[in-house]
Structure 1
Amino acid sequence: MTTASPSVAAAADLERDLKSGALSLAIAEIAEEAARLILPYWRTGAAVETKADDSPVTQADRAAEALILDRLETLYPGVQTVAEEAVSVHGAPAAAEDWFWLIDPLDGTRGFVRGGEAFTVNIALIHAGRPTAGVVTAPATSTTWRTDRPEGGAYRRQFGALQAGEAHAGEEWRPIRVRDRPQEGMALLSHSVTDEEAARLAARHGCTRWQGTDSSLKFCLIAEGRFDAYPRTGPTSEWDTAAGQAVLEAAGGRVLADDGQSLAYGKPGFVNGAFVAMGG
């Protein structure tokens, strides 16, 4: 976890690549590389350890995080990184800088250990407390969602295995957009809530039906117009939500904290309170 301020040149590179869209494409390639690294560990009975907060961690988490940190430092040296596994070992930084990365190398580790498909790789760039670029990759389904330029636009693609000599492989990027709220909206909820609580939360946000889903996939499924809301009352870490929020907002959605303002980043301990993610 780096804490040095980025050089003037690095900050200029971030701004230039954000404006051109090159940054989101670059971090999408990194997330997909991490996904290819993770997949050989999936459904193999890989060893699981328990962290101090009682959450699981595997070699896949650690290997993916090391790869992501190395690639980001090569592209944009000196930019602060706040990454889940580094924080679990060294603690969170005392404060966030103006530019910093939020990284969850394997979101949904519990489901990953069980052999489920709803786990993701999350990389987000934060500037002045706002997620300005983000990528979410689902290794099990070879799917990536990303932001485009700061003025908006979100995209999805299926990526493939790399062949010898290829820099990347996969479908063309396709634009995605939230849907207008239907008469009977559909909510996504964490599997950690009871059925009674899930039904209550869904109804509070105008949804008559709900479905339980793990990881940051919830943001992306709303972003591509398949669902309508994701209310969350329990605490989450900022690296759990930043990339998904970036994608959802780029697709025309919103992520609001309890005060009605857009969920912000760089808070003490990098911890979120309650929020709701919404489509149209």
Structure 2
Amino acid sequence: MKLEEIISVALEAGAKILEVYGSKDLKVQSKKDDSPLTLADQQSHGTIVKGLKALNPGIPILSEEGKHLEYGDRKDWTYFWLVDPLDGTKEFIKRNGEFTVNIALIHQGHPVLGVIYAPVLDTLYVAKKGLGSFKLEKATQKRKKVGDGFTKAAMKLPLNKKEKQISAVASRSHLSKETEEYLNMVKEKVGEIDITSAGSSLKLCLVAEGTADVYPRFAPTMEWDTAAGHAIVTCAGGTVTQPYSGEPLMYNKQNLLNPWFIVRRDGFNL
């Protein structure tokens, strides 16, 4: 299957989200864990599942809003899609635009392809193992012009950045005490740092492109929150590792909850 076909699925899901985003009633519900669920989550999920099954019905799909199979039913998957139909539902409800569509392809526990689309920003991040990571702004408009040749219109990541003050990105909705302690440790080593807040998987994308040097996450996330961004970071030369062991995040674990992790851009070794 072509990467461009996955991009088309993500853009279609983004369009469904924007339809709800522009309405007066977001139809917000609460899931069993008290996290919010909107009509946009559900419509994006349906669009992505339909699109991915049409491309390759043999690859199973694990989506935040879908049925979560027991570990015994999925432990032998070689390849599978890992999807967050609307990452950053809280940001969606706040209407601040910082939410994304996340689609990742996992091979033997590792993300090998990632597509992240921010519908309000109309910005697309794409990565594939062996190809690299890319950023495409005004994605809908440019896709109409270039069709499948998106890499020619996109910017290769990481972007060339001038030397600057060390910068970190942190969660807008989940800034924990441990995260603050880590950031204070970085300050002690390098001096003042620039700290930016952002929602959803955009934090990983900012590190992948080099806008941020590091993103520490000492708060709960699920596998579908990070998989696509993990692919984009690693294909841009960065790392997504656990803070104490240095091991990378793995996917399709028995417990789909991620351990704490630190995302570093290419060349940042602190």
TM-score of the pair, normalised by structure 2: 0.85
Instruction: Tell me if the contact between 1:82 and 1:100 (Cα under 8 Å) persists in the aligned partners.
Output: yes
Q: CA RMSD in A?
A: 2.7
The equivalent of 1:220 in structure 2 is 205
Query: How many Å separate the matches in 1 of 2:29 and 2:212?
Result: 34
8 Å CA contact 2:179–2:217 kept in 1: the answer is no
Residue 161 of structure 1: how far off its partner (Å): 5.7
In structure 1, the gaps of 5 or more residues are 1-16
Percent identity, aligned pairs only, is 35
Q: Which residue of 2 aligns with 1:191?
A: 172
Cα shift at 1:200: 2.5
| Partner of residue 69, structure 1 | 49
TM-superposed deviation, 1:271: 1.5
2: CA distance, partners of 1:264 / 1:178? 27
Q: For structure 1, which segment, 46-55 or 90-99, has the greater mean C-alpha deviation from structure 2 after superposition?
A: 90-99
Give the conservation status (yes or no) of the 8 Å contact 1:199–1:210. Answer: no
The letter of the residue matching 1:214 is: G
Q: Which amino acid aligns with 1:160?
A: T
Asked if 1:99 is matched to 2:105, the reply is no
Q: 1:202 offset after TM fit, Å?
A: 2.0
**Counterpart Cα distance in 2 of 1:40 and 1:246:** 28
Structure 2 stretches lacking a partner, 5+ long: none
Indicate if the aligned counterparts of 1:178 and 1:253 stay in contact, CA closer than 8 A.
no
SS of 1:85's partner is coil
Q: Which amino acid aligns with 1:139?
A: P
In the aligned structure 1, how far is the partner of 2:108 from the partner of 2:143? 39
1:201 and 2:182 are equivalent in the alignment: yes
Separation in 2, partners of 1:122, 1:210? 24
2:222 and 2:257 in contact (8 A); partners too: yes
Aligned to 1:3: none
Equivalent of 1:142 in 122, 131, 134? 122
C-alpha distance 91-129 of structure 1, shift in aligned 2 (>3 A): closer
Which runs of structure 2 are paired with 1:160-171 in the superposition (5 Å)? Answer: 160=140
Partner of 2:258: 272
2:221 to 236, 240, 245: 236
After TM superposition, the score normalised by the length of structure 1 is 0.82
- Structure 1 residues 37-76: aligned runs within 5 Å: 37-44=16-23, 45-76=25-56
Count of aligned pairs = 255
